[in-house]
Structures are given as C-alpha cells and as structure tokens.
Amino acid sequence: MIVNDDFLAHTLRYPEQSDVLDFAFPSGRARVEGAGILSLEPEVKRSNVSLVLSVGIHGNETGPIELANGIVKSILAGDLVLGVRLLFIIGNPRAAIQAQRFCDVNLNRLFCGSWQSQQGYEAQRAQQLESSVKAFFDAPEAVASQKFHYDLHTAIRGSVHEKFAVHPFVPEEIYQQCQLAFLAACGIEAVLFSHQPTTTFSYHSFALHNAQAFTIELGKVRAFGENDLSSFVRMERALTELLVAGELIQDSLSDLSLYKVVDSLTKDHESYQLNIADNLENFTPFKQGFCLAESLVQRYLVEQTGDAIVFPNSKLPVGQRAGLVVRAKPMSAFNFQ
C-alpha cells in the first residue's frame, strides 16, 4: 500500500486500514498510524509547536476535511516546508463515506474516556484517537513544544456568526489572548466560553494534555465537492503560517463577539421539543420568558432578553445535549493573559 500526497483519497480508499505505514516526504517523516491518522515529524530539529489538526469527527462535515487535506497535500508534495510537529486526523472515515454525521453514536461526546460506556464504531474510534493524541503529546519531541489542538467542524444550521469557536471550560477563567487573536486571524467571528467540562475531542486535549484546544465551526455542513473553499482563505493562511513558521498570526480582538455559555440544554424525555423553526440560525436571540424547550418533565424559559441558542438539536437520544444557551458579554468581562 502506497500513500500518495492525497491523504483524504487514501483514507476514503482504505477506511479500515489498521497497518502502520512509514514513509518520507520532502521536509520530514510521516507515519499513517491507522485509518485517517497521519503523524508528521519535521526534519527541522526542536520544533516549537506540536499541533493536532482534526477534521471530520462528524463524517458529513466535509468543508474542513477538504481545507486541511489541501494543506497537508502541499506539505507531502513538498510545496510547503513543514516546520512543526503535526498530527492530522480525519476523524470518522466510515461516516464520511456514508455522508453521515456518525454511524452508531456521536463521536464528539465520547472523549475523556466516555467511550468506555458505549459500543460500536465510534466508541472504538474515540479510544484509538485518544491513544494517538496521547502518544503524540507525550512523545519526547513534544516536551519543549507548545501544544495546540484545533478541531474543525461545520454546523448543521446557518449561523448569525458564520465562523465561531468553542473555548473549553477553564475553571480559573483566565484566557490566552494570543489564541483569541489567532482565531480572529483565522476569520473567526465569535467565541463561546464553556461553563462546564464536556466530553468533546477538543475539551479532552485541553483537560488531559494541557493543550490550547478549540472546536472551530467554519460554516454550514455541505457534501464533498460542494464547499466554497474560498470562504476558508483566512483559516488556510493562518494554519499554513503555523505549520510552516510555527507562528500564530494575530489579528485584533476588537471584531470578535464574545459569549458566555449560561446553560446546556439536555433532552430529558422522548417528548422533548425545542420551540424554534427548523431554519432558525445559531445565535438568534430570544426575549426573556420565552419557552425555548419543553417536555413532559420540564420547561426551559429564557432567563434574560438577548440570550441565544447555539447547536439546537432535539433529534438525538434522551440524555444528550440539545443545545447551548449563550449570552453576549463585552471584552471587559474576560481576563486575558
């Protein structure tokens, strides 16, 4: 089996690959650790960054897969010189082939060991991804480097802010200004600050590996070949600069909209429903007292005018997250270092 420069094509061709494959590329050495998992070690010594770049954790979120695969292709072909350590992950190859969000269960709820109480393809996949990330961040080469994980997604709905990021829950509430300035340079318009730990992939890398880690939403879900790659140019430029020069390019924070997550909605009963239109956009605000969700168990009333919903979804099993309620905050409400 030979890996050519197109790792996406390789992954879709061999979605069940379990063999490890080592090969050289013009600026370093590569290892396919399993289906959709490619680690790249640059030739340059003392790389100052170890970056996990994951895409397609949800199989049908193809825009980020095409974007990141294009950059990795340029590195493998020798058109870009890799300057940092990279673990490139195409998260859910089986679901990507089926053009589905997932096969058995939502992969992005199975990290931090949650896969242990689940069965099926995604449970096995979460275990495999956790161990690849651990090996990557625990490697001796990572010791002196900064650890980053950017987990790229696209949203099911349209959004008032087309591109936005989810910041992991940080108990001490002190945030890294240079990461937010990097997100701004990537073309991110809004950041949500989580209010509690989760079992998402990015939270896992933050909590277990002390990485600066974010879920990044780059627009709306579209099929392979239907993405407008020109909408990713700022993200592409910022990632390329990071991969080649090890630099987080910076943009002013002044255009970023900041939100605190105030509640996580949970589907608490089969009768659970969200009282919103199917085409309502993420970040649409509500009036105080609006009954946003209800079931035979309870009702959720909006606490404050302006509170908005992100990721609303009630077509999921009881017990799962049905959306995040967020509240806009001024920059002065946050502490940065």
Ligand X SMILES: O=C(O)CCC(=O)N[C@@H](CCC(=O)O)C(=O)O
The answer to whether 195 is a known ligand-binding residue is no
Determine contact, residues 129/91, Cβ cutoff 8 Å.
yes
Positions in 95-114 near ligand X (CB under 6 A): 108
Alpha-helix runs per DSSP H in the chain: 7-13, 62-77, 93-97, 121-138, 177-185, 201-209, 233-245
Distance CA 330, CA 253 (A): 11
Whether 217 sits among the annotated catalytic residues: the reply is yes
Q: Per-residue x/- marks for Zn ion, 151-190, CB under 5 A?
A: --x-------------------------------------
Between residues 219 and 246, which has the closer beta carbon with respect to ligand X? 219
Which letter, b or e, does each residue of 141-151 get, where b requires 16 or more Cβ atoms within 10 Å of its Cβ? ebeebbbbbbb
The answer to whether 241 is a known ligand-binding residue is no
Between residues 11 and 202, which has the closer beta carbon with respect to ligand X? 202
Q: How many CB atoms lie within 10 A of CB 133?
A: 25
Report the nearest approach of ligand X to the CB of residue 157 (Å): 6
Q: Which stretch binds Zn ion (CB under 5 A): 11-19, 26-34, 51-59, 205-213?
A: 51-59
Q: Which of 10, 125, 147, 153 binds ligand X (CB under 6 A)?
A: 153
Report the nearest approach of Zn ion to the CB of residue 29 (Å): 31
Report the nearest approach of ligand X to the CB of residue 127 (Å): 18
What tokens does 91 get? 């998260």
The catalytically annotated residue of 217, 226, 241, 294 is 217
Q: Which of 21, 97, 156, 328 binds ligand X (CB under 6 A)?
A: 156
The answer to whether 167 is a known ligand-binding residue is no
Is 58 near ligand X (CB under 6 A)?
yes
Determine contact, residues 76/25, Cβ cutoff 8 Å.
yes
Three-class SS state of 133: helix
Which partner in Zn ion, ligand X, none is near 155 (CB below 5 to 8 A by kind)?
ligand X
Q: What is the DSSP string of 224-265?
A: TT---GGGGHHHHHHHHHHHHH-------GGG-EEEEEEEEE
Report the nearest approach of Zn ion to the CB of residue 335 (Å): 29
Between residues 41 and 189, which has the closer beta carbon with respect to Zn ion? 189
Q: Per-residue x/- marks for ligand X, 298-317, CB under 6 A?
A: -------------x-x----
Between residues 193 and 311, which has the closer beta carbon with respect to ligand X? 311
Determine contact, residues 179/170, Cβ cutoff 8 Å.
no
Locate tokens 């960054």: which residue?
49
Angle of helix 233-245 versus helix 177-185 axis, rounded to 10: 130
Distance CA 140, CA 326 (A): 40
Q: Which stretch binds ligand X (CB under 6 A): 11-19, 155-163, 172-180, 272-280?
A: 155-163
Which letter, b or e, does each residue of 223-243 get, where b requires 16 or more Cβ atoms within 10 Å of its Cβ? eeeebeeeebebbbebbbbbb
Residues near 230 by beta carbon (within 8 Å), at least 6 away in sequence: none
Positions in 211-250 near ligand X (CB under 6 A): 215
From the annotation, which residues make up the binding site for Zn(2+)? 58, 61, 153
Residues in touch with ligand X (CB under 6 A): 58, 108, 153, 155-157, 166, 200, 202, 215, 311, 313
- Per CB under 5 A, residues contacting Zn ion are 58, 61, 153
